[in-house]
Amino acid sequence: MKLYSAPISPFAARVRLSIYRKNLDIAIVPPPDGGLKGDAYLALNPMGQVPTLVLDDGFAIPESATILEYLEDRFPATSLRPDKAEDLARARLFLRLPDLYFLGAPRILLSVRNPGDRKPDVVASAMESLGRGLSYIDHFLDADSPWAAGGRASLGDCALIPILNAVALVERVYGRPDLIARHSKVAAYWRAAQIEPINARVIAEQMASVPKFGPPD
């Protein structure tokens, strides 16, 4: 079994967090020759995106949320599904909020990181989406727990850690250290998350790609 991944992708990082927490023997590899839009990869995933999980029999599963649920079904021993139905609903909500309400804001903002390429209306719209998405996450986080849902590591953390790391990168590129800090529960969650070893491993993997995504010299 192998996972096609890219270090910077928050969606691929979601699945890597699950693999590490469950201690699964799954190879993590880059897309084959030709990249995401090459024939070899498109034969597996015609959407041309990461991640894609390829099973031993060759069956390919795309989309991070689908892969995460498959791994829970296939490898239930170290479960990332909270025990209470309400907490599981919260974890699944955190998987959906970045997709529905961030509207790709971190990707958009990092794609125009060079000041000469920035269009003020594009930046303003993406920042507004980013702030709105963070406010929704802040509303649903439990202020009394360092975890996203249920008092232990869950699918919710797999969703939130990579996207908050992308927001932290936007903060650096745009000189906006307040993007996370203005949301008190998100800020407290992010502070705790960064020092937890498995979270820190995935954060470091994402940040290893920063030189080509960071601000221009």
Please state, in angstroms and rounded to a whole number, the distance separating the CA atoms of residues 62 and 79.
21
Query: Model confidence at 114, in pLDDT bands (50, 70, 90)?
Result: confident
Nearest residue to 45 via CA among 28, 60, 66? 60
Average pLDDT over residues 173-179: 92
Three-state SS for 163? helix
Q: Which pLDDT value is given to residue 215?
A: 46
* % pLDDT > 70, the chain: 96
Q: What is the pTM of this model?
A: 0.92
Cβ(28)–Cβ(176) below 8 Å: no
Q: Which pLDDT value is given to residue 19?
A: 98
Q: Which pLDDT value is given to residue 14?
A: 97
In the chain, where are the structural domains located? Answer: 2-74, 85-212
* % pLDDT > 90, the chain: 83
Query: Model confidence at 212, in pLDDT bands (50, 70, 90)?
Result: low
Beta strand ranges found along the chain (DSSP E): 2-4, 27-29, 52-54, 60-62
Mean pLDDT of the chain: 93
Q: What are phi and psi of 16, to 5 degrees?
A: -60, -40
pLDDT digits (tens, 9 = 90+) for 120-137: 899 999 999 999 999 999
* Fold (topology level) of 85-212: Glutathione S-transferase Yfyf (Class Pi); Chain A, domain 2 (1.20.1050)
- CATH number for 2-74 (one of 3.30.460.20, 3.40.190.10, 3.30.460.10, 3.40.30.10): it is 3.40.30.10
Q: Which pLDDT value is given to residue 217?
A: 38
pLDDT digits (tens, 9 = 90+) for 14-65: 999 999 999 999 999 999 999 999 999 999 999 999 999 999 999 999 999 9
